[in-house]
Structure 1
């Protein structure tokens, strides 16, 4: 079973979320969850584009303004335009962040907002929540598979679990790349993620096997296509029905080992989960218990059973 190294994984984060007094009013938006909980498991890389281009704090607030042909980043009065400086910095900075395994952004910010950033009509205070922050857009363009989330959305337990599942999977892929990708390693990687992929998106899981078996494609092309589809599958939130299917597949590996009573106990635990009577941790705990008694190397290596450290308490939502 995979062992997680504390603070081995590096996450980008909006500097204000760690308590940095970098906001336009000289304040911060410190996140207790990020600062107190996540800091024990990740090494944060704080970034504030507005400070980086020399705006200082406090400073005039800036916003996205829609002109006929483009969106500009200006202060409220319009005499300060930092569009070019911000875009240049964000593109250059993001290009150096290939070591990150995820990014947590501050919502609504004209530089960091992942979505629903207010874009004002030029010369008015009328706006629509249709924008994307300059840094967020650069991240999505440069590293399209990188897990990115806004801090506030992490209050949703399903979004939180999905985000960190992708962070740990992304990091696992980075480790594979560093060791040198081969078809054998790709096949082994895919085998370890079988049931996690089934829990998230069975359709895309079924596309990955034939891709790995396609001998007509160069190894590098297979790896690239695999990773794109792999991350797309994990972006789907795991459903109760898909979790049930994954659990039942795993259950099949114990059919020759468990007693009649143990089989009934595991089946009941899975059905109780499917019917919403018990949390996902109940059948998972039972499976892990049976693995201690009846070892199965193939099942023990399944990332599904241990996609992130238990101490993060991410599976409490299911």
Structure 2
């Protein structure tokens, strides 16, 4: 499979020696698994904004009305404005590339996504966002963003990869020119996915799509993309997945024998109780779909949200 889905990434996570101590934070999952599917766009805000390697450590401090980026041992060396200027310019460039996701370096005062230390006069609080990543979130609110360390969690990992492939599918479906028909067709394929992630958003987006004729198509494209990715950012729960599995099960009520129905019910219930992984009912449902094909079900991305070789549903 061609690695053509563009994903931004902190350069150190790719193994580039750009950190303050000339080190890196190589992620094996990123380089060994995701690199087969993603084309990474590498960025190191600190180096690209003019800081040397190696360099003095930097930190975020609470500076009156705003957060400032300064050197840890000499707070008179203030890098706040240069980092903000760089971030605005670089992210504006990235926004033209149809990025489908971004992997940032955890705890970094420039790239951290959450719980970055912010030093006050008396103590440090883990409530900050790196200056660069904060600008990224502001300029591209629809973009899936995740930290390198959180990708070790199977649920967070699966959710991030699902969102990246979803956004890529959306862009590919539009083919550079959104139309009402393309958006309606895309939404139809993601109905079960949205039900699993956030039933309320599924209903709201359904109403929105039903009124697409009342909008300028470019405005609707932006509105739908934001709503779609906000919904996808909510992790699919075991309860919601179970409801979707039972919904799919209903399509086979006339085809399956009593014993087969009982087996399917038991496997879905075992998943609901946490005894079996999601992969178990999914495999059985796909088996029945091969025997009794249904055009609507076969179009649903819930069943195949990303390449199977990523093996992300094994731990769910």
Q: Indicate yes or no: 2:201 matched with 1:204.
A: yes
CA shift for structure 1 position 148? 0.2
> Which residue is 2:118 aligned to?
119
Matching of residue 234 in structure 1 with residue 232 in structure 2? yes
Residue 27 of structure 2 corresponds to residue 31 of structure 1: yes
Match of 2:103 in 1: 104
Aligned to 2:133: 136
Instruction: Tell me what 1:243 maps to.
Output: 241
Distance in 1, Cα, partners of 2:209 & 2:243: 23
CA contact 2:174–2:182 (8 Å) conserved in 1? no
- Stretches of structure 1 lacking an aligned partner (at least 5 in a row): none
Q: Provide the residue aligned with 2:173 in structure 1.
A: 176
Measured in 2, the distance between the counterparts of 1:184 and 1:261 equals: 42
C-alpha deviation, 1:132, in angstroms? 0.9
Q: Give the CA RMSD over aligned residues.
A: 1.5
Question: SS state of the match for residue 172, structure 1?
Answer: helix
Separation (CA, whole Å) in 2 of partners of 1:209 and 1:72: 43
Structure 2 residue aligned with 1:282: 280
Match of 2:190 in 1: 193
- The CA deviation string for residues 247-288 of structure 1, in whole angstroms up to 9 with x for no partner, is 111111122222333222222211221122211111110111
Alpha-carbon shift at residue 52 of structure 1 (Å) = 0.8
Q: Could you tell which deviates more after superposition, 91-100 or 124-133?
A: 124-133
State the match for 2:142 in structure 1: 145
C-alpha separation between the residues in 1 aligned to 2:49 and 2:177? 37
Matched, 1:72 2:71: no
Equivalents in 1 of 2:81, 2:217: separation in Å? 39
Q: CA deviation at 1:292?
A: 1.4
2:38 to 42, 47, 50: 42
TM-score, normalising length: structure 1: 0.93
Q: How has the CA–CA distance of structure 1 residues 275 and 69 changed in structure 2, closer, same or farther, with 3 Å as cutoff?
A: closer
Is contact 2:196–2:241 with CA below 8 Å preserved after alignment?
A: yes
Q: Give 3-state SS (helix, strand or coil) of 2:33's partner.
A: helix
For these two proteins, the number of residue pairs brought into alignment is 312
TM-score by length of 2: 0.94
CA distance in 1, matches of 2:290, 2:165: 24
The whole-number CA distance in structure 2 between the counterparts of 1:224 and 1:53 is 30
